[in-house]
Amino acid sequence: MVSQRSILALLIIQDVSYGRIQDRTPGKGYDRVLKLTIAIKAWAFALGLGYALIDKIYLGSGLTMTRKQRDEVESTIPKEERQDHPLLRRVPVPWVTYSCLTLLAGFVVTAWTLFFLGLAS
Protein backbone atom coordinates (compact mmCIF):
# COMPACT_ATOMS: atom_id res chain seq x y z
CA MET A 1 0.00 0.00 0.00
CA VAL A 2 1.11 3.53 -0.73
CA SER A 3 1.07 5.93 2.19
CA GLN A 4 -1.07 9.06 2.18
CA ARG A 5 2.06 11.21 2.37
CA SER A 6 3.43 9.66 -0.81
CA ILE A 7 0.19 10.29 -2.65
CA LEU A 8 0.10 13.88 -1.40
CA ALA A 9 3.70 14.46 -2.49
CA LEU A 10 2.97 13.07 -5.96
CA LEU A 11 -0.11 15.26 -6.29
CA ILE A 12 1.87 18.34 -5.31
CA ILE A 13 4.58 17.50 -7.85
CA GLN A 14 1.91 16.93 -10.50
CA ASP A 15 0.17 20.21 -9.66
CA VAL A 16 3.41 22.20 -9.84
CA SER A 17 4.44 20.49 -13.09
CA TYR A 18 1.07 21.13 -14.69
CA GLY A 19 1.19 24.78 -13.64
CA ARG A 20 4.64 25.15 -15.15
CA ILE A 21 3.54 23.50 -18.40
CA GLN A 22 0.46 25.72 -18.57
CA ASP A 23 2.56 28.84 -18.01
CA ARG A 24 4.74 27.93 -21.00
CA THR A 25 1.81 27.17 -23.29
CA PRO A 26 0.96 29.99 -25.71
CA GLY A 27 -2.18 31.69 -24.45
CA LYS A 28 -1.73 29.85 -21.11
CA GLY A 29 -4.21 27.19 -22.19
CA TYR A 30 -4.52 23.60 -21.09
CA ASP A 31 -3.56 22.02 -24.42
CA ARG A 32 -0.16 20.70 -23.35
CA VAL A 33 -1.40 19.74 -19.89
CA LEU A 34 -4.14 17.59 -21.39
CA LYS A 35 -1.74 16.00 -23.87
CA LEU A 36 0.67 15.13 -21.06
CA THR A 37 -2.13 13.70 -18.91
CA ILE A 38 -3.42 11.58 -21.79
CA ALA A 39 0.11 10.33 -22.50
CA ILE A 40 0.66 9.41 -18.83
CA LYS A 41 -2.66 7.56 -18.66
CA ALA A 42 -1.96 5.74 -21.92
CA TRP A 43 1.44 4.66 -20.59
CA ALA A 44 -0.18 3.46 -17.33
CA PHE A 45 -2.73 1.47 -19.34
CA ALA A 46 0.02 -0.14 -21.41
CA LEU A 47 1.96 -1.02 -18.25
CA GLY A 48 -1.16 -2.56 -16.74
CA LEU A 49 -1.66 -4.75 -19.79
CA GLY A 50 2.00 -5.72 -19.71
CA TYR A 51 1.79 -6.65 -16.02
CA ALA A 52 -1.34 -8.72 -16.66
CA LEU A 53 0.32 -10.60 -19.52
CA ILE A 54 3.53 -11.22 -17.58
CA ASP A 55 1.47 -12.43 -14.62
CA LYS A 56 -0.55 -14.81 -16.76
CA ILE A 57 2.31 -16.17 -18.87
CA TYR A 58 5.34 -16.22 -16.56
CA LEU A 59 4.05 -16.03 -12.97
CA GLY A 60 1.16 -18.48 -13.05
CA SER A 61 -1.38 -15.74 -12.19
CA GLY A 62 0.24 -15.31 -8.79
CA LEU A 63 -0.21 -11.53 -8.77
CA THR A 64 -3.99 -11.75 -9.15
CA MET A 65 -4.60 -14.54 -6.63
CA THR A 66 -5.63 -14.03 -3.05
CA ARG A 67 -3.43 -15.54 -0.36
CA LYS A 68 -5.99 -18.28 0.22
CA GLN A 69 -6.12 -19.21 -3.48
CA ARG A 70 -2.33 -19.24 -3.66
CA ASP A 71 -2.08 -21.55 -0.64
CA GLU A 72 -4.64 -23.92 -2.19
CA VAL A 73 -2.75 -24.07 -5.50
CA GLU A 74 0.60 -24.57 -3.72
CA SER A 75 -0.81 -27.47 -1.70
CA THR A 76 -1.81 -29.29 -4.91
CA ILE A 77 1.66 -29.08 -6.50
CA PRO A 78 3.78 -32.21 -5.92
CA LYS A 79 7.15 -31.57 -4.24
CA GLU A 80 9.15 -32.83 -7.23
CA GLU A 81 7.42 -30.34 -9.56
CA ARG A 82 7.79 -27.26 -7.35
CA GLN A 83 10.97 -26.04 -9.07
CA ASP A 84 9.32 -26.08 -12.50
CA HIS A 85 5.88 -24.67 -11.65
CA PRO A 86 5.49 -21.03 -12.82
CA LEU A 87 3.84 -19.99 -9.55
CA LEU A 88 6.83 -21.11 -7.46
CA ARG A 89 9.75 -20.78 -9.88
CA ARG A 90 12.08 -17.96 -8.85
CA VAL A 91 14.93 -17.72 -11.31
CA PRO A 92 16.45 -14.23 -11.52
CA VAL A 93 17.52 -13.10 -14.97
CA PRO A 94 20.53 -10.77 -14.58
CA TRP A 95 20.07 -8.80 -17.81
CA VAL A 96 16.46 -7.99 -16.87
CA THR A 97 17.54 -6.85 -13.42
CA TYR A 98 20.31 -4.63 -14.78
CA SER A 99 18.05 -3.24 -17.53
CA CYS A 100 15.37 -2.29 -15.02
CA LEU A 101 17.88 -0.71 -12.64
CA THR A 102 19.40 1.27 -15.52
CA LEU A 103 15.95 2.42 -16.61
CA LEU A 104 15.08 3.44 -13.05
CA ALA A 105 18.34 5.37 -12.70
CA GLY A 106 17.65 7.09 -16.03
CA PHE A 107 14.18 8.12 -14.83
CA VAL A 108 15.59 9.56 -11.61
CA VAL A 109 18.35 11.49 -13.39
CA THR A 110 15.87 12.80 -15.98
CA ALA A 111 13.42 13.89 -13.30
CA TRP A 112 16.07 15.78 -11.33
CA THR A 113 17.46 17.36 -14.50
CA LEU A 114 14.02 18.58 -15.58
CA PHE A 115 13.35 19.83 -12.06
CA PHE A 116 16.53 21.90 -11.94
CA LEU A 117 16.09 23.16 -15.50
CA GLY A 118 12.58 24.25 -14.55
CA LEU A 119 13.92 26.14 -11.56
CA ALA A 120 16.63 27.82 -13.65
CA SER A 121 14.27 29.15 -16.32
CA torsion, ordered 93, 96, 100, 103, to nearest 10 deg: 150
Nearby residues of 22 by Cβ (< 8 Å), 6 or more positions away:
28, 29, 30, 32, 33
* C-alpha atoms less than 13 angstroms from C-alpha of 36 in its C-beta half-sphere: 13
- For 62-121, the pLDDT digits (tens) are 888 898 998 898 888 888 888 887 777 777 889 989 999 999 999 999 988 888 887 776
pLDDT the model gives residue 121: 67
Q: Say whether pLDDT at 46 is over 90.
A: yes
* Sign of the alpha-carbon dihedral angle for 4, 41, 33, 30: negative
Cα 50 from Cα 46, distance rounded (Å): 6
pTM value > 0.75: no
pLDDT the model gives residue 1: 56
Q: Please state the φ and ψ torsions of residue 36, each to the nearest 5 degrees.
A: -65, -45
Q: Say whether pLDDT at 38 is over 60.
A: yes
pLDDT the model gives residue 102: 96
Q: What is the mean pLDDT of the chain?
A: 86
Cα 102 from Cα 99, distance rounded (Å): 5
